[in-house]
Structure 1
Amino acid sequence: MTKSDFVFAVAERSGLTKKDAELAAGAVFDVLTQIMAQGDRLQFPGFGTFKTRVRPPFVGRHPKTGQPLEIGETLVPVFEPSRQLKEKVKESHAAG
């Protein structure tokens, strides 16, 4: 699904115009990005939690030379789906 497909589906389901749905979706993702950039978490009961996690440093490999390369600690975005979302996806997969 592309962004335009998503916006179209939101517009149809909510009764908003396509333009209003695009503005709403953009605002939601802007706020979500800002929350996660600050290191905060956002919970949607029945859907899941968006949060950040510290990935520890590790030794990787340079893709061209194969030489070991130190990769430093970094903050990465994480989504943890709720139990209800996992169950709905599992049911949908089993039915399809």
Structure 2
Amino acid sequence: MRCKEEFQMNKKELVAAVAEQAGLKKVDAEKAIEAFTAVVEGALKAGDKVQLVGFGTFEVAERPEREGRNPRSGETMTIAASKNPKFKAGKALKDAINA
């Protein structure tokens, strides 16, 4: 049985795969990936969502302030409200993975 870490793709491998798939130089593929992530990040910071039909949707989920416990001392503490990016896979992506 193979280990999960064996199948993880890092940025360098992603750049190489995109360059090969799109017929680009690695430098150009890296610029495209960096531009994509910057645009998605900017949209999420602005409160927008990014929807790629068939692939999925990037959006921000807001978590309200809540009470939690310090696991070491057991004391109750307030956990501040936060915004977290989330990704919801689209139907076509789900179908492709499950095929």
Flag whether TM exceeds 0.5 (same fold): yes
Quick check: 40-49 or 67-76, which moved more? Answer: 67-76
- Partner of 1:40: helix, strand, or coil? coil
Q: How does 1:71-86 map to 2 (within 5 A)?
A: 71-86=79-94
Quick check: 61-70 or 39-48, which moved more? Answer: 61-70
Q: Flag as ranges the 4+ runs of structure 1 deviating above 3 A.
A: none
Structure 1's unaligned 5+ residue stretches are 92-96
CA-to-aligned-CA distance 1:33-73 (integer Å, 9 cap, x gap)? 11111110010000011011111222122244232111122
Q: How does 1:45-60 map to 2 (within 5 A)?
A: 45-60=53-68
Q: How many equivalent pairs are there?
A: 91
Q: Name the counterpart of 1:34.
A: 42
Identical-residue share of aligned pairs (%):
38
**Pairing partner for 2:24 from 7, 16, 20:** 16
TM-score (norm 2): 0.84
* Residue identity opposite 2:44 in structure 1: M
Q: Name the counterpart of 1:69.
A: 77
